[in-house]
Chains A and B, each alone.
Chain A
Amino acid sequence: MECNRFVEEKIGESETPEFRDHLAGCTGCARDVEELREVRTLYRAASTEKYRGGVPRLSRFRAGWVPMAAAAAVLMLVFGLILGQPGEKPPAKTETETGTSMFVRVHLEPWGSDARLTRGFDEVWKQLEHLEAKR
């Protein structure tokens, strides 16, 4: 049917001379155009709600490797300081600790990412012993 060719024109998205000619002889399409225009106009008048939520609290940092790396470095430093208190000997390893891996989950809200730092105890002890030896 010829009327079906003019979808874009009927919904008010374009105006072609061809459609204007068609409208002159087609009362159905003329009514469609008028009523669909009214729908658009009415919607614009009706859709007036306002957003009242305000500006959300945002972090100064965004997701990316720099803040992630910085957070990981700080965590490692703190961890190292806690375990490496002067005068304190690291506790002897037990059998159950051997081969057990340490799992640290860093939840990086408000960046919105998680980072998992997994490191074997053996490696950490080695590093601490190395630091002790240097002191």
Chain B
Amino acid sequence: MTRIFHAAIALLVVFILAPIVVVVVASFSAKAIPEFPPSEWSVRWYAHALSQPIFTDSAVNSAWLALVSTALATPIAMGVAYVIVRFDFRGKDALQTFMLSPLIVPSIVIGLAILLAFATIGIKGVGLRLIGAHVLITFPYLVRTIMASMARVDLTVEEAAKTLGANGLRTFWHITLPLVRPGIIAGMLFSFIVSFDNVSVSLFLTSARTNTLPLAILNYVEYNFDPSVAAISTMLILFSLSAAVLLERAVGLRRVVGV
């Protein structure tokens, strides 16, 4: 029985990993089309990809976009999570559901809706449009993770701080915030990744001159099929992986000391 179970898990892992492995291996092809396995090995398509402004410019755009929208969404999400976790009020459940609705509504619909909304209120700048939209799509991830870690904070710990002479602000700063910090960091990393690889919403908002990396890749693949896209993808995988390791360090290590 356990043997079948193990075999099933192994199969699942292979199923999930296989495409990634193919991309990574193919990125080292020397020829002008991606091969698996490559008949000749090379890193020249990495050099090629990194020399293309279409990739580098859009990568910088995407990084900025992810950073700025995460930085803007985080404090708002913290406030909303605090209110939802700590206070009882009418319509709390409704608010909670509403806050998570961008996860439920198809993102292509959100993209279209945002485009129409921005056009109506007259926001024309591509950067502003992208940031506004990305704050909206990253926000639910932040609220969720921050809420989860806030709900785990023992309220009597905050009460103890108050009896020891800390006012509300100092209690939040010295007690609540450090205890919620793993959740905030996790949320911010999620948010960064969600923003960084978003296609469906950005699709409606980018211009010929301001593009994001996922859309640049998509555009490139329409006309070219060389291994530079595989190279870019491999670098993205590496980037996500290091983010995950960072996350484990940030959240996992704190758990060791009993948070």
* A, B bound: no
B residues with a Cβ closer than 8 A to A are none
A residues near B, CB below 8 A? none
